[in-house]
């Protein structure tokens, strides 16, 4: 005979185990769980298993999607395979933005992949906006062909730094610490994540000299394995946006590059940087204040 107290204890343990199991369940990874189509749903397709997503661009329109949730701080990652062949004029964008319509007061963090003529390398442009003001572009070459297979593009965002990663290699560090704070650092507004493919042949390839060859359309970019470990926004103000060191992306080790990351970053700086606004004295005779903050700190 089992005593009532023992039976109640068994039920409590079982309920607790089920609760822990549900908390540890794998994150939702289907497109429908995480994203909504922004425009031109007929230009969006998925693989048969639903794990790979395709956006296409033709002369009529491109396509885009966005997360259903907003986040403020965390780790955000996606695998992309870019348009192959002659992709001049085509831009594939993977970015974060505080407003759905790219409004005049938006904060934004950009990966933009600039297409090129067949045989010429892709360029990757990153940019940061604060309250609708951008102009913080950097451009890099890649050390691989991003059209042949999937590669991982990630953003680490906390109140101390914003780091752009390609296959876990840091290619750009935008700091918010040191002797003075970075007044341009986007740390106040939660952001959605977006991706889109669109025609930008007025500027994207050789400053607009190379135009999109529409005979090559449709241009298709591919996506899979979206991953987010971040602070999901909840009005009026979720506790996770404060520095609590509860989350790995908010702990001291995530406030700066580690030694191995610094070696990788130094290699990128020596070999792959094409343009850095902090070195463009013709454009900025007085460099923006954040240019004085060292990415090595």
Residue 128's Cβ-count burial label (10 Å; 0-12, 13-18, 19+) is: buried
CA 148 to chain centre: 20
Given a contact cutoff of 8 angstroms between Cβ atoms, the answer to whether 131 and 186 are in contact is no
Q: How far apart are CA 274 and CA 124, in angstroms?
A: 10
Q: Is the peptide bond before 218 cis (omega within 30 degrees of 0)?
A: yes
Max CA separation in the chain (angstroms):
87
Catalytic member of 69, 112, 137, 290? 112
10 Å Cβ neighbour count for 192? 20
Active site annotation includes 60 = no
Q: How far apart are CA 190 and CA 83, in angstroms?
A: 30
Alpha helices in the chain (DSSP H): 4-23, 31-34, 259-271
Q: How far apart are the first and last CA of the chain?
A: 66
∠ CA 212-218-219, nearest 5°, is 65
- Backbone φ and ψ for 166, nearest 5 degrees, come out as -125, 115
Active site annotation includes 188 = no
10 Å Cβ neighbour count for 151? 17
Catalytic member of 32, 69, 99, 108? 108
Q: How far apart are CA 198 and CA 23, in angstroms?
A: 39
Number of H helices and number of E strands within the chain? 3, 15
Known catalytic residues are 108, 112
């Amino acid at each position: 005979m089992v005593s009532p107290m023992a039976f109640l204890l068994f039920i409590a343990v079982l309920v607790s185990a089920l609760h822990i199991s549900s908390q540890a369940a794998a994150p939702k990874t289907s497109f429908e769980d995480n994203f909504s189509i922004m425009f031109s749903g007929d230009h969006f397709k998925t693989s048969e298993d639903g794990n790979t997503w395709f956006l296409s661009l033709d002369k009529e329109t491109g396509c885009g999607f966005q997360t259903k949730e907003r986040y403020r701080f965390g780790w955000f990652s996606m695998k992309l395979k870019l348009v192959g062949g002659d992709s001049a004029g085509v831009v594939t964008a993977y970015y974060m933005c505080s407003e759905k319509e790219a409004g005049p007061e938006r904060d934004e963090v950009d990966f933009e992949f600039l297409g090129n003529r067949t045989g010429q390398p892709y360029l990757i442009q990153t940019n940061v906006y604060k309250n609708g003001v951008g102009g913080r572009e950097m451009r890099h070459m890649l050390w691989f062909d991003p059209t042949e297979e999937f590669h991982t593009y990630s953003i680490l965002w906390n109140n101390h730094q914003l780091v752009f990663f390609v296959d876990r290699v840091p290619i750009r560090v935008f700091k918010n610490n040191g002797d003075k704070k970075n007044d341009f650092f986007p740390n106040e507004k939660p952001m959605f994540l977006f991706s889109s493919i669109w025609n930008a042949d007025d500027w994207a390839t050789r400053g607009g000299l190379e135009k999109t060859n529409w005979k090559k359309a449709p241009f298709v970019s591919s996506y899979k394995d979206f991953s987010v470990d971040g602070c999901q926004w909840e009005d009026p103000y979720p506790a996770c946006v404060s520095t609590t060191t509860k989350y790995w992306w908010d702990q001291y080790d995530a406030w700066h590059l580690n030694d191995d990351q610094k070696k990788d970053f130094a290699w990128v700086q020596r070999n792959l940087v094409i343009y850095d606004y902090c070195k463009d004295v013709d454009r900025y005779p007085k460099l923006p204040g954040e240019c004085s903050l060292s990415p090595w700190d």
